[in-house]
Amino acid sequence: MGNTDFLWLSPLGYISVCLSAEAVCRISFQEGNFGNVWPPDHALAREVIRQLNAYFEGKLRAFSLPLSPGGSVFQNQVWDAVCRIPYGSTVSYSALSREIGLPDAIRAVAGAIASNPLLLVIPCHRVTGSTGKLTGYSGGLDRKRKLLELERRFVVYGKSTLF
């Protein structure tokens, strides 16, 4: 079986999902109005939608989907660290680079985050500039702000002490 692509309408716009036979390969926001869309009759597609709905309802803090993001060893190291940022919290690029043991690799960390193929699941919207300023997000800064606001509605804290 080849890859399966479908669109899902989230509260923040259309989300494009790509599935292999066994894992989620890509999740990204798509601009435009695609009208009514229906996901394929596929168990993994149904599970992706179930978890996305739960996330947007504030009932899911971490996704548990089979993932196949590809990427280099370094990118996967960064993405794994991003997945450890608690729901509703933010961490700076510099703190993230220190967390992975490469304190001088801030730009490389930012590049790995920019190439994240699994938005929301690998929650790169939780990474900010060193002053807490919202910077770069492939889904757009407005969505990044709205995602952080959504998460903060369901938690008491907002700044991570993880790193």
Contact indicator for 3, 36 with CB cutoff of 8 Å:
no
Instruction: Pick the closest to residue 49 from 149, 144, 121, 138 (CA basis).
Output: 121
Reply yes or no on whether 124 is catalytic.
yes
- From the list 22, 45, 17, the residue with the least C-alpha distance to 118 is 17
Token pair of 115 as six digits: 């190439």
Q: How many residues does this entry show for the chain? A: 163
Whole-angstrom Cα distance, residue 152 to residue 87?
A: 8
Q: Which helix (H) or strand (E) segment is 29 a member of?
A: strand 24-30
Answer yes or no: are the C-beta atoms of 93 and 110 closer than 8 Å.
Answer: yes
Choosing from 18, 25, 83, 124, which is the catalytic residue?
124
- Indicate the SS3 state at residue 114: helix
Which contiguous run of DSSP H or E holds residue 52? helix 43-56
Catalytic residues: 124
